[in-house]
Chain A
Amino acid sequence: MIETCDLRKTYTMGDVSVHALRGISVRIEKGEFVGIMGPSGSGKSTFLHLIGLLDSQSSGKVLISGTDVSLLSNEKRSRFRLETMGYVFQDYALIEDLTVVENIAVPGFGLGMDYYKVMDRAMRLTEEVGLSGRAHHLKRELSGGQQQRVAIARALMNEPAIVFADEPCANLDTASSRMVLDLFHRLNREHGQTIVMVSHEPWHEEYFDRVIRFVDGRIDTDVTPDVE
């Protein structure tokens, strides 16, 4: 599904070069729920951004379903993201002027799907994340946990092959975090959804099939946690 070969990313800040990733080669299979963990500055978010096509690598390759995505033009990368990937950001990243159901529907409209089909699916996803009573509310009328559930539903709108989540529980309390993680877990189990999530909370490990731990821009460990 996702394969990286000697993936490197170097940021230049004035005269200083920062090596955020130092040659990552990894393979993530379809249907896996993978946790990317590690201390701050270890390169986990950079890795997520590169495999999620939100940033470009300095060298190395990213193959998704056999496609070398570094060879795609900007236009094709946009389309690839729209068709293949869903994103959940740390601070929810909802569009202020849209209601819950409209936010969820945006990727479907972007794909050029039929309006009624999009709205029907958006409503079903709203129900699935437990927000059917808030379908027509704006972002400012929702709690953080509710906003994150909307973001998850939006990420699933186009039935993407992979969902990327960048510390989705960072701004949530434990109860809301557990609700979001339960939701990801259910989607992974019921729909076989591939999920790649960045997290720094040790207790999140219990939800992951596999944990890739980054330290100083390298993979430190790549293990399947022992879940009781």
Chain B
Amino acid sequence: MKTVNIPVYLAVRAIQRGNKGTFLLTIMIVALSFVLMVFMPSLTAGLTGAYNQQVSDYQYADLIIEPDDDNQVLSDTHMLVRTIERTPGIAAASSHMIVSTSLESDKKILSRGVVAIIPSDEERVTKTFGKITEGRYLSDGDTDVILLGSVLAGHDDEKKDKMESLGGVHAGDSLEVTFQNGIVRKMTVAGIFETGSISADNEAFITQKEMESVLGATDKSSLILIRSSGAETLAETKIRLMEFGIHDDIKTVTEKGEGIIGDALKSFSLLNSIMLVFSLVIASIVIFIVVYINTTHQRRQIGILKAIGIPERDIIRDYLVQVAVIYGCGALCGVALFTCLSEYFRAFPLQFPAGAVYPVFDLTVLLPSLMVLGFVSLIAGFIPAKQATSEEILDLVNR
């Protein structure tokens, strides 16, 4: 026996033979509300992702080991790096020793922490070596040379500088570097790198060999960068490092990044919430108005259905099915529209200090938005339908 579901039957006929213009307009409003809801969070996710990728590629790799609260530096760095590299899930590690210096070019003097690295280790951990725009990267045996980020090197025209710079230094130029112990070295700029990250491009590197020649062999470091093999999550790798006896402060790149752009993300999160509320209010008001107008125009019909003996709940469900169809079509159009926008911005990304950014198609953003919009739509449809069906039959029929 094939029975007919009255709400579905009436809703389908109403959609098939009702006002197509209103139906399509409502779908478009739901679709646009959905895009409004997800665009900003997706852009924030894209921005966060781009930032984390940039930080991972050019500053902190996947994991960072820093001295715990009781120490200024990490000791026994050589052994520590070898222990880390022997840990399963680790591809490479590179130690950084930050040395306070004063850098003097022909035009400017700046106080800066210069990072001492073993270039061959660093190449396996970060991608800075691939971003040389002038000159060359460092070699392990280099002395009296320095590698500068493009922001720190600066432009000949000061107006183009994003931060305080050395005033337009190029590969082959000389810098006078004064170390914290008073030793002064004349160094040649080996190369300039440009990663796109302002903070990365504001750094300067020298070799550990250079540092030891100035400060003596210390076997100490300020931090160690670690590149994982990618076989497991960073959280798992972090736990594994702890199991292998690393008791210093271990952070994933995301944890490190949160500390740096946490405030910015909180501001974006606030903006996202405001956009979300506005979108939901707009969508729910529009659906409410559409169903309210429908039920007002169809009060007699509702009365007739009640008079015939169709239960109130089935009449309400008729309108809810119509809302569900509007929502479903709106959501599909919204996802399609968002996908188009996402693809457009992927092709022509927005330029942020964190690099090229585009909205990310993230299900953890899309699914909750779809569910919330669906719920709000049903409530907005239910209220006017319930109001209309609750009236007396004769009041409805005699209108």
Beta-carbon contact of B308 and A98 below 8 Å = no
Beta-carbon contact of A110 and B304 below 8 Å = no
Chain A nearest CB from B18 CB (Å) reads 6
Q: Which A residues are CB-close (under 8 A) to B9?
A: 109
Map CB proximity to B onto A97-116 as digits: 1 under 8 Å, 0 otherwise: 11000100011011011111
Beta-carbon contact of B14 and A97 below 8 Å = yes
Q: Which B residues are CB-close (under 8 A) to A106?
A: 6, 305, 308, 310
* Chain A residues touching B, majority SS: helix
Output the residue of B304, B306, B314, B392 with the most chain A CB within 10 A: B304
Interface residues of B in 290-327 (CB under 8 A from A): 300-301, 304-312, 314
Beta-carbon contact of B309 and A112 below 8 Å = no
A78 to B302: give the CA distance in the assembly, Å: 13
Beta-carbon contact of A55 and B308 below 8 Å = no
A102 to B3: give the CA distance in the assembly, Å: 14
Binds B, one of A25-33, A87-95, A168-176, A218-226: A87-95
Beta-carbon contact of B6 and A110 below 8 Å = yes
Q: Which A residues are CB-close (under 8 A) to B266?
A: none
Q: Judge whether A200 is part of the interface by a CB distance below 8 angstroms.
A: no
Interface residues of B in 12-32 (CB under 8 A from A): 13-14, 16-18
A75 to B308: give the CA distance in the assembly, Å: 13
Q: Report the contact-size class of chain B (Cβ under 8 Å from the partner).
A: 20 to 34
Name the CB-closest residue of A to B392: A55
Q: Judge whether B79 is part of the interface by a CB distance below 8 angstroms.
A: no
Name the CB-closest residue of A to B313: A75
Known: A93-B304, A110-B309, A116-B2. A98 touches B13 (CB 8 A): yes
Beta-carbon contact of B393 and A82 below 8 Å = no
Interface residues of A in 159-191 (CB under 8 A from B): none
Q: Which B residues are CB-close (under 8 A) to A85?
A: 309
Known: A102-B13, A113-B3, A138-B17. A78 touches B394 (CB 8 A): no
Q: Judge whether A54 is part of the interface by a CB distance below 8 angstroms.
A: yes
Q: Judge whether A83 is part of the interface by a CB distance below 8 angstroms.
A: yes
Interface residues of A (CB under 8 A from B): 49, 54-55, 74-75, 78-83, 85, 87, 89, 93-98, 102, 106-107, 109-110, 112-116, 118, 138, 154
A sample of 5 inter-chain contacts (CB < 8 A) reads A82-B308, A82-B309, A102-B13, A113-B3, A115-B2
